[in-house]
Structure 1
Amino acid sequence: MTLRDTLEPFFNKLPAVASPEKHVHFKDKLWWTLGVLMLYFALANVPLFGMSQDSVDLFESYRAFFAGASGSLILLGIGPIVTASIVLQLLVGAEIIKLDLSDPRDQAFFQGAQKFLVFVMIVLEALPQLLGGYIQPDPGLASVLGVGLGVITFLLLVQIFIGGALILFMDEVVSKWGIGSGVGLFIVAGISQQIVTGILNWQPDETGLPIGLIPKWVYIAQNVGADYLFSGEGVMFMLIRGGILALLSTVAIFLLVVYVESTRIEIPLAHSAVRGARGRFPVKLIYSSVLPMILVRALQANIQMVGIILSSRGINFLGEFSGSTPLNGIMYYLAPINSPYDWIPSLVRESFASYGVAAPATWQIALHVFIDALFLIGGGIVFALFWIETTGMGAKPTAQKIFNSGMQIPGFRRNIGSIEKVMQRYIPKVTVIGGAFIGILTLVASLLGTIGGAGGTGLLLTVSIVYRLYEDIASEQMMEMHPMIRSFFGEQ
C-alpha cells in the first residue's frame, strides 16, 4: 500500500462544506456571499480572549492582503490557506508529489491534501508567535482565573485555530454556494476598509498630521502657508506626506487593471451539432488572475517570519529587526517595498533615524529594490504557471471543457488533441506575459505607495478581484436567464 492509498481515506474524512445537489439560484448565491461577508466583519471584531495589550503583530506589513485583523479571532486571515497552497504547488510542480490535476481523483486528493495542510499551517503560523513572545498572554487574567500563563497561551492557540478553520470553511461556502471565492472576498473587504480609513480617518499620525487624506488636506490648508506649499520642499511635502502621490498611484493602478482585465485574445468556437451556433473563448492578458501575487508576498512573509523569530532569540546572522521591520542583513533585501519611505534615500534615512540605527547606503537601497522586483516579476511568472495547472485552467483541462460542451475550433478536427494544440499556442505564453506584467504593476504601485497604506499588492488584488466579481455576477445572471449556458460551465 502506497502513502497515497493510506492518506486518501483520511483526507476524504476531513470536515467539508457540502456541495449543492442542484443549481443554486443567483439570489441565493448573493445571500450566501453577503452572509459570509457579514460574518467575516463580525469575526474581525471579536478580540482574542486572554491576549495582552503588549502583544506585537508579526505580520503588520502584510496585514492588508492576508485579510486578517490584528488581535482578533481571525488574526491569521488567509495566511494558512495561501501558505498551504504555496507548499503544495511547489511539491506538485517539482513532481515530488506526482499528480495529474486533470484527473478528478487526483484533483480530489490535491484538495484534501491542501485542506489538511491548512490545518497544519494554522498551528505552524500561530505557535512561533505564541512561543516567541509576540502574542503574549494577559498575566492579569491568569491571576484572576488562578491559572498559569501556559493555560492562557493554550487558550489563545485554540482560539486562533478556530478562527483559521472558520476562514477555511467560509471560503468553501462562498466557492460552493456563493459567487467568486472567499479568499478574494476577504481580501477585498480588508483592503476596502483600509482605503476608506485612509481617506476619512481624522486621527493624527506620529508627525501630527491626520491619517486620512481629506482631513489631512483640510489641516494643511488651515495650518501651512501657501509660500511653503509652492516651494520645491513644499511640493515634495504635498506629494509624499500630503498623499498626492499615493492618490495618483491608486487611481492609475485602478484604471490600468480595469483596462488590462478587458484585454484578451478571443479564440473562435463553433458548435459541432448546431449550425450557426458560434462563440468565443477569451484568453485574458491576466489569464491566471492576480492571486499568484498573494503567493509571492506570502513567501516573502514566511521568510521574514523566520528572520524575526531567529532575531528574537539573539540569532542575528540573517539580520536584525525593529518589531517586524528588518534593519540589515539578508532579511533587509528580502523584505517587500511598501512605499517611497523604502527606496527614496532621504526618506529611508529618516525612517532608520527613528529606529536609532545607521541607514543603508544608496547601492544597498537599489539592491533592495532590484531583489523585490525579481521576487515580484519572476515569482509572478512562476506562480502564475503553477496556478493555471492546479486550478484546471491549463491547455489540456480547458480543451477538455470545450470538447465536453460540444464546441470545436473552426478549421480543426473535433477532438481534444486539436483543441489542446491551439490552446497550447496561447495559454502558456499569455500566462507568462500576464504574470510578468502583474509583477511590474505591483512593483510600481509599491514604489509609489497607495491610499491607506493598502500596498501595491493589496490594491492590485482588490481592483482585479472586484472586476472579476462583477464578471462572475454578470455570468450568473446570464445563466439564470439562459439555463442552456450552464452546460458550457459544467453545471446542471
Structure 2
Amino acid sequence: MSLKDSLEPIFNKLPAVASPEGHVHFKNKLMWTLGILVLYFALANVPLFGLSADSIDLFESYRAFFAGASGSLMLLGIGPIVTASIVLQLLVGADVIKLDMSNPSDQAFFQGAQKFMVFVMIVLEALPQIAGGYIQPDQALAATLGVGTGVITFIIFIQICIGGTLVLFMDEVVSKWGIGSGVGLFIVAGVSQQIVTGLFNWTSDSSGLPTGFFPKWLYIVQNVEADFLFSGDGIMFMLVSGGILALVSTIVIFLLVVYVESTRIEIPLAHSAVRGARGKFPVKLIYASVLPMILVRALQANIQMVGLLLSGKGITFLGEFSGSKPINGLMYYLAPIHSPYDWIPSLVRETFTSYGAPVPAMWQIGLHVLVDAFFLIVGGIVFALFWIETTGMGAKPTAKKIFNSGMQIPGFRRNVGSIEKVMLRYIPKVTVIGGAFIGVLTLVASLLGTLGGAGGTGLLLTVSIVYRLYEDIASEQMMEMHPMVRSFFGQE
C-alpha cells in the first residue's frame, strides 16, 4: 500500500465545512462573506485569557499579510494556512510527493493533506513561542486563581489552537459559500484597518508626532517653523516622518496594481456546436495573482522565527535580536525590508542607535536590500509556478476546462492536446514574467513604505485582492443573470 493510500482515509475523516449541493445565490454568498468578515473582526478583539502584557508578538512585523491581531484569539492569523501551503507546494513541486493536480482524486488528496498540515502548523507555531518565553502567562492571575503558571500557559495554548482552527474553517466557509477566499478577505480587513488608522489616528508616536497623516500635518503646520521645513533636514523630515513618501507610495502602488491587473493576453475561443458563439480566455500579466508573495514573506517570517527562538536560548551564531528585530548576523540579511528605516543610511543609524546596537556599514545595508530583492523576485517566480500547478491553473487543467465547456481555439483541432499546446505558449511565460514583476513591485513598495505601516507586501496584496474580489462579484452577478455561463466555470 502506498503512502497516499495509507493517508487518504485519515484525511477524509478530517472535519470539513459541507459544500453546497447546488448553486448558491449571489445574495447568500454576499451575506456569508460579510458575516465571516464581521466574525473575524470580533475574534480579533477577543483577548487571550491569561496572557501577560510582557508577551512579545513574533509576527508583529508581518501582521499586514498574516492578518490576525497581537494578543487575541487571532494571534496566529493565516500563518499556519500559508506555511502549510509553502511546505506542500515545495514537496509537490520537487516531486517528493508525486501528484497529478489535473486528477480530481489527487486534488482532493492535496486539499486533505493541506488541511492536516494546517493543524500541525498551528501547534508548531504556537509551541515554540510558548517554550521560548515570548508568550507568557499572567502570574498575578495565576496567583488569584490559586493555580500554577503552567495551567495558565496550557489555557493560552488551547485558546491559540482554537483561534487557528477557527481561521481555517472561516476560510473554508468563504471559499465554499462566499465570494473569493477567506485568506484574502482577512488580509484586506487587516491592511484596510491599518491604512485608515494611518490616515486619521490622533495618538502620538515616540517622536511626539500624531500617528495619522492628517493629524500629523495639522500638528506640523501649527508647530514647526517653515525655515526648517524647507532646509535639507526638513525635506527629509517631511518625506519620511511627515508621511509624504508613504502617501505617494500608497497611491502609486494602488494605480500600478489596478493597471497591471487589467493587462492581459486574450486567447480567442469559439463554441464547437453553436455557430457564432465566441469568447476569450484572458491570461493576465499577474496570472498567478499576488498571493505567492504571501508565501515568500511567510518563508522569511518562519526563517526569522527560527533565528529569534535560537537567539532567545543564547544561540546567536545566526544573529542577535532586539525585540523581534534582527540587528546582526545572517538573520539581518534575510530579514524583509519594511520601510525607508531599513535602508536609508541616516534612518538605519537612527534605528540601530535606539536599539543600542552597532550600526551596519553601507555595504551591509546594500547587501540586505539585494538579498530581499532576490527573495522577492526569484521567490515570486518559483512560488508563482508552484501556485498555478497546485491550484489547477496550469496549461493542462486549463485546456481540459476549456474543452469540457464545449469551446475550442479557432484554427486548431478540437481536442485537449491542441488547446494545451496553445496554452503552453503563454501560461508558463506569463507566469514567470508576472512573478518577477510583482516581486519588483513589492520591493519598491517596501523600500518606500506605506500609510499606517501596512508594508509594501500588505498594500500590494490588498489592492490586488480587492480588484479580484470586484471581478468575482461581477462574475457572480453575470452567472446569476445567465445560468448557462456557469458551465464554463464548472459550476452547477
Q: Following the alignment from structure 1 to structure 2, what is the Cα–Cα distance between the partners of residues 58 and 484?
A: 49
Match of 2:206 in 1: 206
Residue of structure 2 equivalent to 1:417: 417
Shift, 1:487, TM fit = 0.4
**What is the alpha-carbon distance in structure 2 between the residues aligned to residue 368 and residue 228 of structure 1?**
32
Matches of 2:125 and 2:357, distance apart in 1 = 29
Partner of 1:101: 101
Partner of 2:426: 426
DSSP 3-state at the match of 1:245: helix
Q: Deviations over 1:412-455 (max 9, x none)?
A: 00000000000000000000000000000000000000000000
Residue in structure 1 matched with residue 53 of structure 2 by the alignment:
53
Give, in angstroms, the shift of residue 76 of structure 1. 0.3
Deviations 1:318-369 (A, max 9, x none): 0000011000000000000000000011110110000111100000000000
Partner of 2:461: 461
Give matches, 1:29-428, under 5 Å: 29-428=29-428
User: Which amino acid is the alignment partner of residue 483 of structure 2?
Assistant: P
Letter in 1 for 2:214: I
Report the 3-state secondary structure (helix = DSSP H, G, I; strand = E; otherwise coil) of the residue aligned with 2:118. Answer: helix
Unaligned regions of 5+ residues in structure 2, if any?
none
Q: Cα offset for 1:29?
A: 0.2
Alpha-carbon distance in structure 2 between the residues aligned to 1:112 and 1:158: 23
Q: Distance in 2 between matches of 1:59 and 1:175?
A: 25
Secondary structure of the residue aligned to 2:23 is coil
Mapped to 1, the partners of 2:222 and 2:108 lie a distance apart of: 62
1:17 is aligned to 17
Deviation at 1:194, TM superposition (A): 0.3
**Once the 2 structures are TM-superposed, how far is the Cα of residue 97 of structure 1 from its aligned partner?**
0.5
CA distance, structure 1, for counterparts of residue 396 and residue 119 of structure 2: 31
How many Å separate the matches in 2 of 1:230 and 1:320?
39
Shift of 1:61: 0.4
Distance 2:4 2:384 in 1: 27
Percent identity of equivalent pairs: 83
1:57 CA drift (Å): 0.8
Q: Which shows bigger deviation, 157-166 or 231-240? A: 231-240
Q: Residue 279 of structure 2 aligns to a residue in which SS?
A: strand
Shift of 1:6: 1.3
Shift of 1:145: 1.5
Structure 2 counterpart of 1:278, which letter?
R
Give distance in 2, aligned partners of 1:3 and 1:419: 34
- 4+ residue stretches of structure 1 with deviation over 4 A? none
1:267-303 superposed Cα distances (whole Å, 9 cap, x missing partner): 0000000000000000000000000000000000000
Distance in 2 (alpha carbons) for counterparts of 1:471 and 1:153: 45
Structure 1 counterpart of 2:117, which letter? L
TM superposition shift of 1:70: 0.2
**C-alpha separation in 2, matches of 1:231 and 1:144:** 58
State the 1:12 CA deviation.
0.2
SS in 2 for 1:99: coil
Separation in 2 of the partners of 1:387 and 1:151?
42
Aligned residues: 492
1:487 aligns with 2:463: no
Q: 2: CA distance between counterparts of 1:421 and 1:8?
A: 33
Q: Which amino acid aligns with 1:248?
A: V
Alpha-carbon distance in structure 1 between the residues aligned to 2:258 and 2:17: 33
SS at match of 1:441: helix
Q: State the shift of 1:36 in Å.
A: 0.2
Distance 1:255 1:105 in 2: 41
SS at match of 2:283: strand
Paired residue type of 2:477: Q
Gaps of 5+ in 1: none
Q: Distance in 2 between matches of 1:97 and 1:245?
A: 46
CA distance in 2, matches of 1:95, 1:286: 25
CA distance in 1, matches of 2:218, 2:87: 48
User: Counterpart amino acid of 1:182?
Assistant: G
SS in 2 for 1:112: helix
**AA partner of residue 112 (structure 1):** G
Distance, in Å, in 1 between the alignment partners of 2:131 and 2:141 is 18
Q: Single out whichever of 230-239 and 27-36 deviates more from structure 2.
A: 230-239
Secondary structure at the aligned position of 1:107 is classed as helix
Aligned residues: CA RMSD: 0.5
Cα deviation per residue 1:235-270 (whole Å; 9 max; x = unaligned)?
111001000000000000000000000000000000
Q: 1:174 Cα deviation (Å)?
A: 0.3
- What is the one-letter code of the residue matched to 1:401? K
Deviations 1:103-132 (A, max 9, x none): 000000000000000000000000011111
Q: Which amino acid aligns with 1:299?
A: L
Shift of 1:68: 1.2
Match of 1:385, as an amino acid?
L
Shift of 1:3: 1.9
Give the Cα separation in 2 of the matches to 1:438 and 1:281: 22
Is the partner of 1:273 in helix, strand or coil? coil
TM-aligned CA deviation for residue 234 of structure 1: 1.0
Deviation of 1:33 (Å) = 0.2
Separation in 1 of the partners of 2:2 and 2:339?
50
* Structure 1 residue matching 2:9: 3-state secondary structure: helix
Aligned to 1:19, the other structure's residue is in SS state coil
Residue identity opposite 1:143 in structure 2: A
Aligned AA for 1:357?
A
> Within 1, Cα distance between the matches of 2:236 and 2:319?
32
Q: Secondary structure at the match of 1:77?
A: coil
SS at match of 1:282: strand
| Distance in 2 of aligned mates of 1:14 and 1:357 | 48
